Structure 1
Amino acid sequence: MEAERISDLERLLPLVEKYGLSVVLLFLFLIFAYVQWRAVATGKLVPREMLDRALQDNDHLQEILDSERKAFMQPTLEVLQRLKIDHNAVNPENTEDRGG
């Protein structure tokens, strides 16, 4: 294992001398970023079971939020419905649409 790493370094050192350390490190970083992006895209980095579980948890929490939002907004909706009914009761001949 150590011999393999040393041989890799021996191959990289002439490139570092020729092009500079920053260019070689940038090239290595781009390769690493591409490999990581590919692993995420193909599902090798995160197992599919964990992703499915996270999506199910997200759906469950969204349902809870929707039910709380509905309970919270119910009084406001009732007031708006009463206002609409009262407007029609006061002026039955006025059927003008006000864009609302």
Structure 2
Amino acid sequence: MNWLDTLKEVLPLSEKYGLALVLMFVLFGVCIYLVKSNLNDARSALKDARKERDEAQEQLQKLTEKMNAEREKFMEPLLKMVNNLKKDSGEDRGG
């Protein structure tokens, strides 16, 4: 069925009910289709954004864990020195 056959079916309706009313329903259908299409696109974009956010959070968590391990490794000699100083000082000096 091509567009001429469709037009032949719509023209009698437009004569019976008026061209403006028929065009209003056609345009209403087109608007509904466009809104539905935009909502689907927005949902897929939101889904993609959530996926990217989750991946970024995982990468950040891994990096944070790695940095914490490096910090502990770097601060270990200083912590040993402070603990040795505490052991050497038997009295509480205040402060």
- The bucket for the TM-score relative to the shorter chain is 0.3 to 0.5
Superposition TM-score, scaled by structure 1 size: 0.44
Q: Give the TM-score taking structure 2 as reference length.
A: 0.46
Highest CA radius of gyration, 1 or 2?
2
